[in-house]
Chains A and B, each alone.
Chain A
Amino acid sequence: EAGVAQSPRYKIIEKRQSVAFWCNPISGHATLYWYQQILGQGPKLLIQFQNNGVVDDSQLPKDRFSAERLKGVDSTLKIQPAKLEDSAVYLCASSLAEGTRAYEQYFGPGTRLTVT
């Protein structure tokens, strides 16, 4: 089975520019997560979707970050304008919404963002 796909893998931008990341979850996984992982730290949730609805976006800096999952499958995360402290790896993960294995999250390879 294909894993979680993300693109691009790497992105370098200047501060105040905008950037978008794309994620395609595992087929059939209704729940999708975007995490931010700063170097030397564990992943931190930005936003969680179930199908095309937002479950949790309490830690998303909404003045600059936005995310959507319009058809309940793939998702985009956007940063506009970017700040230096946004330099991080952006991980997308997916899981089943229910069932005995619903707890298991599968991560994509991530997008490494560098803001200069």
Chain B
Amino acid sequence: GQNIDQPTEMTATEGAIVQINCTYQTSGFNGLFWYQQHAGEAPTFLSYNVLDGLEEKGRFSSFLSRSKGYSYLLLKELQMKDSASYLCAVSNQAGTALIFGKGTTLSVSS
């Protein structure tokens, strides 16, 4: 079956670093995605990992270990605007739709 797990909620303070973990079990693998979704808005693309290792993009980094079925999203220098839901998603075959986890709601406080 297909299963993607991530924590339901996390809290952090401004300026801190937070790591959101995601584990997955899917029938195939063609890449892991992270999306950010503010309340009442559409998901927006953050990152894509298809090979093992760390991808860094500004304050956000994403890591993938295919052998462990594991990824994390690292957010540095947190800002209030980072309060959102972070969705982990897997593509199990090229050209197919994404399989999403339930999302992690991150609350950043001052």
Contact = CB atoms under 8 A, between A and B. Distances in A.
Interface of A: 4, 31, 33, 35, 40-45, 48, 50, 55-56, 91, 97, 102-110, 112
B42 A55 contact: no
Contacts of B4: 42
B87 interface: yes
Contacts of A103: 30-31, 33, 48, 91, 94
B95 A43 contact: no
Main secondary structure of the interface of B (DSSP, over half): loop
B64 interface: no
Interface residues of B, number: 24
Contacts of B103: 40-42
A33 B42 CA distance: 14
Given A42-B101, A42-B102, A42-B103, A107 B96 contact: no
B64 to A, nearest CB: 14
Contact of B102 (A40, A104, A109, A112): A40
B47 to A, nearest CB: 10
Interface of B: 4, 30-31, 33, 40-45, 48, 87, 89, 91, 94-103
Nearest to B48: A103
B96 A108 contact: no
Contacts of B95: 31, 50, 55, 97, 102
Most buried by A among B30, B87, B98: B98
B98 A105 contact: yes
A112 B94 CA distance: 29
